[in-house]
Structure 1
Amino acid sequence: MFLSFSIPYEPILFGIKINMHLILEYLAFFIGFQYYRFLRKKSSDLISSTNRLSIIIGAIFGALFLSRFVAFFENPVLHYNQGWLSILNNKTIMGGLFGGLLGVELIKKYIGEKTSSGDLFTLPIIVGLIIGRLGCFLTGTNEFTYGIVTNTFLGMYLGDEYLRHPIALYEIVFLIFLLAFLKNLIKKNTLENGMLFKIFMISYFIFRFFIEFLKPNAFLFLELSSIQYLCLICVLYYYKTILQGIQYAGKKLHLL
């Protein structure tokens, strides 16, 4: 017999309903941090322990602020009517990632650290995202991480009477392929310092820009959501890296 369950998945343990999203979110942080510690022990980190700690603190505060700021504008009318508690509780990983990036850059300028610091965090972040998105999938329509109604074969029942795009699963599949791709680049050892994190951010934000069209978003203007505007900002932030990648690809095609 196969184990069957419905979405949202809320198992009962000792008479208590278990919030799987919350558990997997904490698990994502724990496993991601342990993975980071493992990679740091294996690598020759060019950044001192003191500066690395300052960078982590900058990332945390930047992520806390922007994750809630961007989440508010996903549906500002709804969140405003729900009150301050809802505003403080709502967050988005997109704001967290970009806010963490800005927090890190500000701290690095303050302490005078010029070495790229993102590569060591890249794989742990992806692993954490995969675990967290599994929690989003199991939560179904109880949280705003589900897709629009669809009649395609991809549709799933996520907690209401409609077949919807399981965008959390789409993201998990994308992240698994991205993780494998980046680990392959690491094996080749041809990337300059800092490039691994840049490739992750560019790839993930471009993916999220397009996947947002499959969410029942509250669009601000020009039929784009707050997260999609953040994705465009991120692409502009890394425009030099993107141009370098295009030029490099063009040279490779020319040689072929």
Structure 2
Amino acid sequence: MDFPVTFHIFGKTVLAHPLFEAVGMFMGMRYYYYLKRKSPDKLSFNTSAAVLIGATAGALLGSKLIGNLENPYRLFEDFSIKNFWSNNTIVGGLAFGLLGVELAKKVVGHKESTGDLIVFPLMLAMIIGRVGCFLTGIYEETYGIPTDSVFGMHLGDSYLRHPVALYEIVFLMILWGVLKYFQKHKKYKAGFLFELFMLSYFLFRFLLDFIKPRIEIAGSLGTIQLVCIGVIIYYLYHIKNTLFLNLKY
């Protein structure tokens, strides 16, 4: 396979990453609306609109902000709107999307969790998007460091590299099965499924970034790993409280 993989659409050459990202978002939203129609829990129009706006605004801001802060030296030395807009990361999108939703819920006075329904559509979108990341190889910053392990692959240069996008796809598929088990066989407070997803994913990303190129910000940790630590601490606290409430009942 030659990297990057491109597609010819309406006479234009398109990289795999943005194409699969768009398809992933579309499929994720369709899956979400399908699950929402089947769900017995119905949100009011105001709550649904507020959550959607908060999640979208937070995810957009966070993905760009954290994506650019992965290399803060380049950001401040050679700043341009084009470069700022082209850098993004799902870690920032998830973290700031969460903040956006929580702020929106406070505005409309909604106290119940709204996250469980979005878990599997979000994972579907991420899996499809990561296929695009893999097909782009080293031409976007979603590849691993060189390795001599059996998993090493040529991704567009002369090195065998960790195919981190494939690692993430496998992880998400395993996590999908684990969360489906919890959904079918366990009783839990509303929001627990989303909390478990976020804690699991951010733990995985914290470890995964050790085998990705990164600018070390604090010790050997990069910006994404520092964000992961903050989210992990937040969700460890919330899951501890959720388990305590479940034990009470």
* Bin for the TM-score computed over the shorter chain: over 0.9
Query: Does the Cα contact within 8 Å between 1:47 and 1:115 map onto a contact in 2?
Result: no
* 1:236 alignment counterpart: 233
Amino acid at match of 1:6: D
Question: How far off its partner does 1:82 sit?
Answer: 5.3
Q: What is the number of residues matched between the two proteins?
A: 245
In 1: Cα distance, 2:28 partner to 2:243 partner: 31
Distance 1:186 1:138, change over 3 A: same
* Residue in structure 2 matched with residue 115 of structure 1 by the alignment: 112
Q: Is the 8 A contact 2:153 2:163 kept in 1?
A: yes
What is the 5 A alignment of 1:104-253?
A: 104-243=101-240
> RMSD value over aligned CA atoms?
1.9
Q: CA deviation at 1:20?
A: 1.3
- Superposed displacement of residue 67, structure 1: 1.1
Shift of 1:92: 0.6
Matching residue within 31, 42, 45 for 2:38: 42
Deviation at 1:53, TM superposition (A): 1.6
Q: Which moved more, 1:173-182 or 1:239-248?
A: 239-248
CA contact (8 A) 2:46 2:108 kept: no
- Does residue 29 of the first structure (1) align with residue 25 of the second (2)? yes
Q: In the aligned structure 2, how far is the partner of 1:94 from the partner of 1:26?
A: 17
Partners in 1 of 2:24 and 2:56 — Cα distance? 15
Percent of paired sites with the same residue = 43
Amino acid at match of 2:65: F
Q: Give 2:81's aligned residue.
A: 84
Shift of 1:11: 3.8
Higher mean alpha-carbon deviation, 75-84 vs 25-34, is at 75-84
Give the superposition deviation at 1:10. Answer: 1.7
How far is 1:184 from its partner? Answer: 1.6
- Structure 1 position 19 matched with structure 2 position 15: yes
TM-score normalised over the length of structure 2: 0.93
How many angstroms does 1:86 deviate by? 0.5
| Match runs of 1:62-81 below 5 Å | 62-80=58-76, 81=78
Whole-Å Cα distance in 2 between the matches of residues 245 and 130 of structure 1? 28
Offset of 1:66 from its aligned partner? 1.3
Contact 1:74-1:218 within 8 A present in 2 as well: yes
In the other structure, the counterpart of 1:101 is 98
SS of equivalent residue, structure 1 residue 218: coil
Gaps of at least 5 residues in structure 2 are none
